[in-house]
Structure 1
Amino acid sequence: MFDSKDIALDLRTPCAQVLPYRRSQGGAMSNVTARQCAARWGIGDAAARRILAPLKPIARDTETGAMLYDQAEADAAHNSRPGRGTRNDKTASPMPDEQFEQLVNDDSIPAEHRALWTLLRDGHARIVDALSLDVRDVDLDRREARISYPKKEHEPRSIPLTERTTDLLRQIKGDREDGPLITGAHDRPLSRETAARFARQAGADSIHAFRPRPHQLGTTPRFGAAKVAAREVRVGDTLYWDGREIPVSSVKSVTAPSGAVDVQINLGSDFPIFAAAEEPITIAERQEAE
């Protein structure tokens, strides 16, 4: 039987966003996904994945492919986390390219921090998404990392990996087949607080200085620009992205097992762009069809 607290939690859980809980023969809730945990705990999906990262998944959900965790272990991990801190690491100023290259190429800096920095700079990843990556989320041969639950639903579910990011991730992954991708001392998941503190010690204004742009898309050019959904981008367009104009040489739509559609633009180039199908993209110039 469930007590009133369990019933209240279930009533507050949006039925359209979570899957039914798996129950053992004794009736107790057993296996849950990160999204179910997030709904129960009242936090974001990415934050729930951070909490679940040290745990070993039991299996994958047959319908969505999401990892399943023992609920008792998940709740214990959630209850043992420290209290909320104060965010003081925000900045709007990207780090100069010369300083970034010097830090990333400094072999005296632990590879896990340099890998995180390149995910932010080269892959345009959010910090919480990068730190939430599991080893199984990364395909180093295809040079791609998959985000199961982006911080915002309209954002891309894939992170393109540059050659140097792939090399750094290969170093920190080693021969591991599962578990958190970016780890620190004692193979524990690298926390946001530790990453932010180390970034400041390395000379950055904050961890956000490693990002090439704010969380939103680049500022729209003053003249001759329009926004379209990523699925409407065409070869021959010129995109305005991260303050620069990017000619489009290839466009490919990819459907994930969950049904989400991603658009891969200029795949295989020095500046690939991964976007969700409905994500707004700024077109600086468009060649009209004849």
Structure 2
Amino acid sequence: MTLTDEHITAERLAELLADDSIAMAHRALWLLLWEGDLRMLDLLSLEIQDIDLAGRRVTGVCGREVPEGEGDLSERAVEVLGLLIADRPAGPLFAVDGRALSWEQVMQTADEQGHPVHAFRAGGRRHRRR
């Protein structure tokens, strides 16, 4: 089996995004994995100031600028990230109780929902090819 053999459908993603029992940080991360091509470790390193909600884009990753077109955000992603950021002025973007998500937490939470984390990226790519 290859990594792309497993994928999340659009319907399953919608169910997971609507599940308030899952921390918003995980749901937002899954959406960005589904919709874009930024690497998981780059996403996990994002700070609040790396996001331009009004401009609908990720502006920087790990201190380097994201080229135009590579960090674009959908309206749905802007909405979810707005909820995630709320009134926090700075700090890690993907945080729960003020602490940045770790790779292990991301893997465990996705697994608890019955999916390997790579399935979000694979599902999004498959969906975009249609």
Deviation at 1:103, TM superposition (A): 0.9
Q: Is it true that 1:191 corresponds to 2:77 in the alignment?
A: no
1:72-125 alpha-carbon deviations (Å, 9 max, x no partner): xxxxxxxxxxxxxxxxxx832221222122111222221111100111011232
Higher relative contact order (CA 8 A, sep 6+): 2
Give secondary structure in 1 for the equivalent of 2:79: helix
Q: Is it true that 1:105 corresponds to 2:18 in the alignment?
A: yes
**1:211 counterpart residue number:** 121
Amino acid at match of 1:203: G
Give secondary structure in 1 for the equivalent of 2:41: helix
Amino acid at match of 2:59: R
**1:147 counterpart residue number:** 60
Q: Which has the larger radius of gyration?
A: 1
Asked if structure 2 preserves the Cα contact closer than 8 Å seen for 1:131 and 1:190, the reply is yes
Partners of 1:136 and 1:147 lie apart in 2 by 9
Give secondary structure in 2 for the equivalent of 1:141: coil
TM-score of the two chains, using structure 1 as the length reference: 0.39
Asked if structure 2 preserves the Cα contact closer than 8 Å seen for 1:212 and 1:242, the reply is no
Gaps of 5+ in 1: 1-89, 219-240, 245-290
Quick one: structure 1 residues 192 and 156, their matched pair in 2 at CA, closer, same or farther if it must change by over 3 Å? farther
Asked if structure 2 preserves the Cα contact closer than 8 Å seen for 1:112 and 1:168, the reply is no
Give secondary structure in 1 for the equivalent of 2:87: coil
**2:37 counterpart residue number:** 124
Deviation at 1:212, TM superposition (A): 3.5
How many residues align structurally?
A: 125
Partners of 2:123 and 2:59 lie apart in 1 by 21
Q: Is it true that 1:162 corresponds to 2:48 in the alignment?
A: no
Query: 4+ runs of 1 displaced by more than 6 Å?
Result: none
Deviation at 1:149, TM superposition (A): 4.8
Q: Which structure shows the higher helix fraction?
A: 2
Q: Is it true that 1:179 corresponds to 2:65 in the alignment?
A: no
Asked if structure 2 preserves the Cα contact closer than 8 Å seen for 1:124 and 1:212, the reply is no
Deviation at 1:147, TM superposition (A): 3.2
How is 1:6-25 mapped onto 2 (pairs within 5 angstroms)? none
Partners of 1:105 and 1:213 lie apart in 2 by 17
CA-atom RMSD in angstroms? 2.8
TM-score of the two chains, using structure 2 as the length reference: 0.81
**1:91 counterpart residue number:** 3
Gaps of 5+ in 2: none
Asked if structure 2 preserves the Cα contact closer than 8 Å seen for 1:112 and 1:172, the reply is yes
Amino acid at match of 2:117: I
1:182-226 alpha-carbon deviations (Å, 9 max, x no partner): 102x3111111101100010121x111110369xx99xxxxxxxx
Asked if structure 2 preserves the Cα contact closer than 8 Å seen for 1:182 and 1:189, the reply is yes
Partners of 2:10 and 2:84 lie apart in 1 by 24
Q: Which structure shows the higher strand fraction?
A: 1
